[in-house]
Structure 1
């Protein structure tokens, strides 16, 4: 230890010496050169001797350099080169020592580790008693049981998660089905909107090409929808086949599980017996070894105290073993009772599951039927609702139309005028009409009236037959309304012949091409007699410009009021033609048309006829519509009642099915949990068997120990015989132990295989049970495909109707538009209901997903528990192995310690050698530095002396030049101060050796840092030596 401390201290001192060595050469003021050596101050070090090359005229001893002759510049250069080489050698060796130090520390750590391992092995050997080994084995078995239970729990948790994920899948399927239904219904709504647009376009008389194109697109969509429905039907068949196969596979897997479960129970029992046999064989071997040892000691006459102590220990162990066996027997009884209850519960649950499965199948079938029936009833109700809405809209449209409301004064005055067409009565009628024109009724008649809306283009030069019929019917409607107020009758009608007659009359007027002033033309009127005999004609003027039917309807309405106000000059003849002259109910035919002559005259013709041809039904009579509406409402009420009943049945079927499926799922989960729970009996049986074997071994041990005590005083022959018997038993125990261990390995393998096979089968069952049936989703897709096909058919029907309505009359077109709007409203309401249902389904889905998340967290928790238990088992198995192999483990640890000590000894030797080398190199560096600085200073002083001598030789006056500390650095001639530059004497190798550092420059810093660090290494090493 002393040597290492000296070395370490030397390193630090050497480092400091690099900076405390001072140059001992001073300039003298004497003129003559020095005649005695110039010495440097000395630093006391422990080492001696010179290991460097010395230059001529210098003596180096222990870091002190003495110059014996004036050096030359070449001598100084040589000393500098020697110093540089010494510095580099120290730097290189410092790195070597550092590496050796790291290697020594590593081997020292290895010694510490090996020493700890030996200590642990010695502790294990001390701990390796039979009792502790038995406890360690029991701990291993307990942990294995805990792992088995945890893995069972993990399997059950996985099954629970799978079941919950199946619920998520079902909920997701419901949401998807709801979305599919929404998408399908959205298509229906879009089609209904298109139908409304088409009906409006037909009524407006525009978009014929688009309407035809819609019909073609609808046909194409129907073809695709039919194809999709066919595919959905095929997919449903495949899904049903897949579900049937799954059911078959599940049944087969359950049968296999029953067989494999029995096999696993048998192998578990065999394993328990093998563990018990191995435990007993190991205990018997230990006892046999003890008996041999005690018999030998008895024969040798030694160890009596130990033999007696063994007998006492054996008695204590037997008492404990008997208590353990009693507890194991009690635990075994409880385990059998628990397993019996579990088997009974499984049988009951299996029976309940079978019954619940049958019930669930029935409720599922009932639900499917209820769903189908509810859809049929809902469709019937929707159709009835649409019919009622359509008829109601038609009736409202007619009843909301208005005719001018006459005052009672006008009515009375008109009747008096008709009875006596005097000027006085005409004046009174005029006055009554003027008074009426200032009334609110007149304002309503002219400002707040309602006429038919029909934006179909109407060309007065070429009205179609349907347009002539429509105008004639509206004219009759307005005039009948006025006649109803005056006479209480509505006797104007439109007949087939009156339409043909008015067309002939208009053609005749146009052929005559007369001016407006010519008035009525009997010739033209008679042209219609071929069809019907005319009785009166009212003429009016209008424009020939193309317009709309709505505008022409408004003209008819306005002309009625205008005629009332402006017909005084015509003796109210036109008014009489409009309002009639009596309350006769005899039908009068009417025709309304427009003629446009080539001379530009445009006439409006309102002609009455006497005719008996077929009457064209008026679109403004609501009697038939109301009768039809009453029938439709009856149908609606019946459909609503049927729909309510179907929805109630569906709700009940849904509840019943949900309850049945939930009950089945709960029973299945409970049953799977019980099946996945390992029987308690095998483990309890194993512990009881081990306890029994331990007790038997303890009895044998006590008997042997007692025999050994008895043999203490026996004769030599008896002791010898006892020893021979013990050795024979020992030999048999060794063979039995080896055989038991082999049997245990085989039983363990067989049980592991059986349990793994059973676990795989149960996993297959859980996997199959977790797979949702494909049939419900396929049925839902088929239902959507069917609805889509039905929607496509409806769309095509509507589109075709729109095409057919292109040439229909206004009333038919208006009716079609209202029906389309009603259908759109109904379909939009249904879409809203579907979206609400989806919102409910999404809530169910979110709840199911939340449950899966919680179950997965629980599953992860169990997995973490298993990981901890397996790590614990690894430690316990290692500890058990260490206890059973304590002697060998200790021997191995001692061998490793010996190797580590040997390696550390070699590393320490290497480090010592390298530090010795560094010590010498540091001395060399010290000496080289002293030599260089002494030579350099002597050379400089010689130059200063020569300078002084030169000034004296020339008769000058030498004046000393000093540095900042007062040291003479050169001389100058005091007699030649003017213009003379003072030049001190210095030595520099910069021009020749730019790479060579000056004294106190870079290499000194390197030495400080490097050597100080090295000193730390040296001291640290010395400390480790002291610890060692």
Structure 2
């Protein structure tokens, strides 16, 4: 039994607290000892507040008594009065009715329904967001492929491929011209052949009509012969009259045919006029389209030439920039630091100050030696004149800045005379063969001598120039040991400078000579000049590139315009071909009129002959015989004519078939040419598109990358939106679960309260001092007759896991509860609990009267207890 104290229980009706038991109940104390079977701990509980004061593992004590003795003494230091209070003073919450709980259930159901609707909306938002993510991913995939295609196109946008494209365009132009020429020729042949077919058809129609007429004449003459014979024999007048009647009808029919044929001629003339109008319009349109093609072709050719020219210009400008860049990279550049402090110290005459500020100048000045000098090997014993000039130019570049900063002088140059003077002095010092430090200068001393060291230290032109630079700085700013004499020489001696190297007994000295003689040698590697040349070359490259870009853009447009014009011309050619292919109707109609007229004449002749045959019946015998002879002669002539006309028809038909076959062949050839023209147009458009892709490859790639970034951003936003929607869905779902749980609790509480209300009709609900809720039948014995139940005994038995029943008013302890083992120890009984086994065992539902059955607690459901706990908490 769970002994956790329940403070209150809602019952819905006024429930009287009933006292169960007598004197044993009054033995309550402030603290109680219980074994919590959920946690497996012995707990000291404040009976008044329900607070757990102390907890120890269940293995600590072997029995309830042992636990009580230990925990009570360790928890309660002073005795607590055990008198039973006369009145219950514990505050009890107002109980709820079933109707109130039902109202809460209905309200909570409304919350659940609203939350479920919100969850459905959240799910719809998730579905929409996921679809947007899918769409955005598809867009990213497409954009990614576009970038790959653009990158692939960019790798193909080489000068070679562009040149190949131009060659293909040129070939396409040539093919177009050949196709146009051949098409014109075939069209001319078709025009002539169409007329030949028309003529052949007319000949066939005429031959057919003449044959029909000849056959009709034969029949008519045969009828005349028979009529003449009948006239001689005196019979056949009725038949002759019938023939005359038929001939009269045939004349009428032939006259109607002539009228119809005449109308057809007028209609045919109008149709042919419309045909010609269409042909003229198509011819004019084709001429315009042809001019447009010729213009577009000329522009394309010009654009191609311009692109080639501008591309060559870019190449040359690029080479010029590279040359200028390389030249500038090989420039020797000396930058002397600010001389303000050194100049002030020099003017003050303080050598120490000059030494200090001079050291600063040396430290902060810089030199950059051209990269080619690193690989040029020099023989310091045999310097070339070019090497002397180059080293002298480096010295002069720095010295000019020093003179400008200290004296304001600007005229300092390298001359061949100065170099020759330096070499002369070097030769003289070598010939003297003594140390200049001890023996001084030769003669007037118009040079500076600076110790270079041993030969191995100067192997390349760079080594030589750095030594010259160091000599310049040393003689100018570190010359205190020489009482600044070298500085005075640098500043005050002649304008022109030249250097040489003297080998004095294995020690090398730099000889810097000063003179006003000679013509200044222009420095080909002057940094300012080369920088200006580079700037100019870069400007020229920019201009050339701009012109090239413009030319390529024009070429791209010209290619597109040409393809468009070509396509328009092709459509115009097809339109003209269709108009021309329409047969001429006037010639046929006129021929039909001519044939109808001939048929009318023949019908009239047959009518006249039939009339003669009728009239012949009234003639004399001689006339009848003469008429018969004439009829026979005319029959023979008609038969011969019919035979000739039949042969003429066969000949005309054969000729028509031949002419039609030729026309069909020409039409097939023209169709093939038109198909080829379509292919050439598509090829021209593809070449124009390919050229555009080559010439605008960087822009196309940039656009593709920008689009990819845009689509990736959209995908990221869509994913974030989807995550937000998913989070919202999870939150709403969790809220829905929580609200459903609350609803379930309220529904359970309602069931419990409703059950208690139903039970309260026949029972009294009471709470035992340990918090146990019991229901006592209202028909239970009065206070005098109530059974005295030892609550402590029941409590101890339950704590040991034993079942309890009441027999004849006495407490009887039966077997331990499932999952509870009771063993005897030296100090008493030890109770061991197994929550697993207890959970597996069904409650005892037999007929024994347990304490719970006695007290009526069985009417309480677990949900009701849970509801009571919730209200207490």
Q: What is the TM-score when the length of structure 2 is the normalising length?
A: 0.43
The structure with the greater share of residues assigned to helix is 1
The structure with the greater share of residues assigned to strand is 2
